[in-house]
Amino acid sequence: MLYNLAAALICIVFLFPLYWMIITSFKTELEIFQTPISFFPKSINFNAYFEQVREDYNIFRNFLNSIIISGAAMVIAVALSIPAAYALARFRFKGRKLVILSFLITQMLPTSLTLTPLFIIFKNMGLYNTYLAPAIADATIAIPFSVLILRTYFVTIPRELDEAAKVDGCNVFTAFVRIMIPIAISGVVVSIIFSTLFAWADLMYAFTFINEQKMWPVTSGVFNFMQRYGTQWNNVMAFGVVSVLPIILLFTFLQKYIISGLTNGAIKG
């Protein structure tokens, strides 16, 4: 009983900001600052949501930018993480443990630490103010996480499968594509989801490497929205609700695959 109560309180603490954002988006600007504070809007007001699709500002353009950047970051991260994780799990070479440790260390580094080096690199390569710049930067965050997740799957695959694949005439690459990846598909799905999530939620890289507002994703688009209409909190909260809605839906429909992928990897690793 005590554990259930504690779990309920923790859920309330974590979900309350989301609830407050949603109800504030349906309030008028006057009602937001009224006292005492109301925990439910007196009347449902959709004007804040209509503001998102005005002719002079349309949030769908930001959504398209986020999809492009997130999709590119996901492809880069997954394409590099799968072979890297496989090599760290199946091959023995000098410095292997050091490489694994380096992936762990990068998870503790703040994003701001890499901003200046990446800015100089992208500027010299002609990638500044392109979709590819934040996509590559976001991939650098997703790759270490994906490698560590996928490695736990590849480690537990019996080596007898390698021998059986050789007997059947498969080389290392063919066995990797046809046997290893399908077995570790749960980890691959988790890698795809979190690589997309890291890129979708990024603000700093997109805000730094893209200076044209028409190319900003949803996280940076809120600044553009506030510059146009000021800090109208009902409009800002409505923008936030629309921005996080795809992530909420993603986790709602794929939560069993996410939990299964993470727990299986943890148990097997």
Q: Is the pLDDT of residue 2 over 90?
A: no
| Across 161-180, average pLDDT | 81
Distance (Å, rounded) from C-alpha 44 to C-alpha 232? 17
| Across 144-168, average pLDDT | 83
Q: Is the pLDDT of residue 83 over 80?
A: yes
Which residues are paired to 54 by β-bridges? 57
- Beta-strand runs (E) in the chain: 53-54, 57-58
| Across 15-26, average pLDDT | 87
Which residues are paired to 53 by β-bridges? 58
Average pLDDT across the chain, whole number: 83
pLDDT at 269: 46
pLDDT at 78: 94
Distance (Å, rounded) from C-alpha 248 to C-alpha 121? 34
pLDDT at 175: 83
Q: Is the pLDDT of residue 4 over 80?
A: yes
- The predicted model scores a pTM of 0.82
Q: How far is CA 126 from CA 64, 72, 132, 135, 211, in A?
A: 23, 17, 10, 14, 14
Structure tokens at 252: 């709602």
pLDDT at 67: 92
Q: How far is CA 207 from CA 50, 119, 127, 216, 217, in A?
A: 25, 12, 14, 7, 9
Q: Which fold has domain 60-268?
A: MetI-like fold (1.10.3720)
Distance (Å, rounded) from C-alpha 105 to C-alpha 1? 39
| Across 37-63, average pLDDT | 76
Q: Is the pLDDT of residue 266 over 70?
A: no
Query: Of 36-45, 56-65, 91-100, 125-134, where does the model show the most confidence?
Result: 125-134
On whether the CB atoms of residues 113 and 54 are closer than 8 A, the answer is no
pLDDT at 174: 85
